[in-house]
Amino acid sequence: MRPVVLTPGAPERPGWTLVRTPDEVRELVRSGGIALVRLPGQLDAALAAAAVFRWAGAGVFVTEHADQVRLALDMTDSLAGTRAPAVTRRGLA
């Protein structure tokens, strides 16, 4: 599932569960639920938190920095092997 990125005030769906720690995310995802994470307002903190929570399996993110967080989530999925990279380059040394 591609993660959903919402801005504050956007409507949330029933069935999304607000979580606060990566352990809560893992437990919820293991039981078949969808984890919702509210990211901090500061950009650096939001990007770091998004990557950690996505790696743990969170699927819905609420942030003021939607475009930047989307890029961080795509990168995290690529590193985890669940999404193909947008561009691949092969370097010769």
Residue 27 CB neighbour total at 10 angstroms: 15
Q: Would you give per-residue pLDDT tens digits along the chain (93 residues)?
A: 789 999 999 998 999 999 999 999 999 999 999 999 999 999 999 999 999 999 999 999 999 999 999 999 999 998 888 887 777 777 766
CA distance 62 to 22: 16
* Domain coordinates in residue numbering, the chain: 1-15+35-84
CA distance 86 to 93: 23
For the entire predicted model, the pTM comes to 0.86
Residue 33: enclosing H or E segment and its boundaries?
A: none
Tell me the two tokens of residue 50.
Answer: 């998004």
Tell me the two tokens of residue 28.
Answer: 């919820």
